[in-house]
Amino acid sequence: MTDAPLSSGPALVEIYDTTLRDGSQREGISYTASDKLRIAQKLDEFGVSFIEGGWPGSNPKDVEFFERAKDVEWKNAVVTAFGSTRRAKLGPESDPNVRALLDAGTRACTVVGKTWTLHVTEVLRATLDDNLKMIEESVGYLVSEKRRVIYDAEHFFDGYASDPGYALETLRAALRGGAETLVLCETNGGRLPWFVEETARAIVAELGAKARIGVHAHDDSGCGVANSLAAVRGGARHVQGTVNGYGERCGNANLSVIVPNLELKLGLRCLLPGRLREITEVSRFVAEVANLAPDSHMAYVGKSAFAHKGGIHVAAMRRNSDSYQHVDPALVGNEMRVVVSELSGRGNVLSKAEELGVKVAAGLEGEALEEIKKAEARGVSYEGAEASIALLLARKAADYQPLFVVQDYETRVGRRGGSETYAEATVKLRVGGHVFHTAAEGNGPVSALDAALRKALTPVYPALASIHLADYKVRILDGKDGTEATTRVLIDSQYAQETYSTVGASPNIILASLEALVDAVEYGLRQHGVRLADAVLERAERPSERPAARAQ
């Protein structure tokens, strides 16, 4: 569903990505030069118009990036270097920052200058006329050196609100210098969309015939995306932002949301045809390189962006997918998901079974739903543990055979010799018609349980050796109950390149852990294609023919 027809022509709105410069100013992000190069190459493949590589005069990593970028064949994007206008008492040819822009060797440079009279007089400590000369001469010098120049008018909307005449003069100074794009920066992130749209429309009417007008917004009032779209409605055709909205303070305008809105809602092409479906992958790639968890609830690209939990919603979706989705998730490379919980209806169960490729016998979806609701009532949460819900549904099949059944277990923890602590677990389990009884040690009771399960099962199911526990999380559900509170355990496991999650819940943390461990092992084995086979077990030594194995 689109609000306007999508143009099939060349890009109508330039996308200028500043993830590598402005995005790196987010707390917790520190890209290496290699990280920046990987992200830049991904963005180039994606098809943005400009990639701002950094500020070459500010740090060695940015200098290294630009040196390495010279050897890359950029296919779609123009790499730009960012810097400021010359200092008040230096000519542009003598200013180190301006020289660094030339040394970066990029075809285009972005120059930031002051627009707001407050910043000119209080921060730069310059006169208003001197500031205009600094802008015009800096831009003019770079143009004379055969560089394309994009001019960033810092604090433009605040400056325009304070003194619209002077704000316009700063843009005219950049135009006289030869800037090809004038970017209206909403630097403090405090303006609202209607003011941004009205201001952008006024600037486009005044100067739009002489240069492309752009917008650079921040998200301090939660309006970074809305302000960018408002400026486009006002006539701007160049949008700056970052992947996932990374940036200083509350972040920059989020290109992962802006780009789909421009193409799908406003009908303005930003990328090469067909590339929009890659935006979810790009979002997650950048998050991975930045070493940040992706925002599951981000519009368009989040894992939960097209997730449906309410039973009424899912029932309607099964009749018509447009009933609770504003666009087809495939357009942005995402997918629709059904969440199973205590809020579910039969439609959730059926949809989740179809999504997981599990067959539920006719009429048994109600039984499965009842079991899900009872489990959630005692503290299990299936939302983040789809492997456990897949097994719950699979266990409803008439031909289901468990790969193993834990009959008894015991854990012991203590201290030996007054100082050395130990943890030991014993498990007794059945595989088909055979019983195995083993013990093992670990660095804690859950570790020991995992080791004992593996010790018993690996000889029968060698595939278990390639299944690894990746993470173990514990949540206390009601702290007021103290040590008697119900505990929810979530285990992440890895099989090949797949990571999957299982869950258990009980007032007994060991039992909750065992439930999640059993599901983790069985799901992983079934993903390997393993099935219960007595022929395999016949080759295993029968328990009656050997003593129980115990850890030494």
> Is residue 94 scored above 80 in pLDDT?
yes
pTM for the structure as a whole: 0.72
Most confident range, picked from 26-40, 301-315, 501-515, 519-533: 26-40
| Percent of the chain whose predicted confidence (pLDDT) is above 90 | 56
pLDDT in tens, 337-362: 665 544 444 445 555 555 545 565 55
Is the pLDDT score of 472 beyond 80? yes
pLDDT at 469 over 90: no
- The whole-chain average pLDDT of the chain stands at 84
What does the pLDDT average to over 99-118?
96
Closest of 152, 237, 241 to residue 200, by C-alpha: 237
Q: What pLDDT does 38 receive?
A: 95
What whole-number distance in Å separates Cα of residue 53 and Cα of residue 81? 6
* pLDDT of 537 strictly over 60: no
Domains of the chain listed by start with CATH number: 14-290 (3.20.20.70), 307-394 (no CATH), 405-545 (3.30.160.270)
DSSP codes of every residue in 356-382: HT----TT-HHHHHHHHHHHHHTT---
Tokens at residue 440, please? 């093992």
pLDDT (0 to 100) of residue 506: 83
- Determine which of 184-198, 471-485, 525-539 has the lowest per-residue pLDDT on average: 525-539
Does the pLDDT of residue 79 top 80, yes or no? yes
pLDDT of residue 346: 47
pLDDT of 66 reads 96
- Taking residue 504's Cβ as centre, other Cβ atoms within 10 Å add up to 27
Residue 470 pLDDT grade (very low, low, confident, very high; cuts 50, 70, 90): confident
Q: What's at 9, amino acid-wise?
A: G
What pLDDT score does 479 carry? 54
Mean of the pLDDT values across residues 111-136?
Answer: 93
Rg (CA), the chain: 30
Q: Pull the structure tokens for residue 215.
A: 């917008």
Q: What percentage of the chain has pLDDT greater than the value 70? A: 80
Query: Which tokens hold the place of 105?
Result: 């060797």
Three-class DSSP category at 512:
helix
Please tell me the predicted confidence (pLDDT) of residue 504. 84
pLDDT for 4: 44
Mean pLDDT (whole number) for 448-458: 92
In 402-538, DSSP assigns E strands to 405-416, 420-431, 434-442, 467-476, 487-495, 498-506
**Which of the four pLDDT bands, split at 50, 70 and 90, describes residue 550?**
very low
Least confident span in 43-47, 210-214, 542-546? 542-546
User: Which distant-in-sequence residues (6+ apart) come within 8 Å of 503 by Cβ?
Assistant: 380, 381, 382, 384, 385, 388, 488, 489, 490, 491, 515, 516, 519
Residue recorded with tokens 């098809």: 47
| pLDDT, tens only, 287-334 | 999 989 889 899 999 988 887 665 555 455 555 566 667 899 999 998
| Alpha carbon distance 386, 340 (integer Å) | 9
Helix (H) or strand (E) holding 332: none
Q: Average pLDDT in the 170-192 region?
A: 97
Q: Where are the alpha helices (DSSP H) in 395-483?
A: 445-457
Distances (CA, A) of 500 to 230, 342, 362, 408, 550: 41, 21, 27, 26, 30
pLDDT given for residue 10 in this prediction? 56
Most confident of 16-30, 325-339, 371-385: 16-30
Q: Average pLDDT of 519-531? A: 83
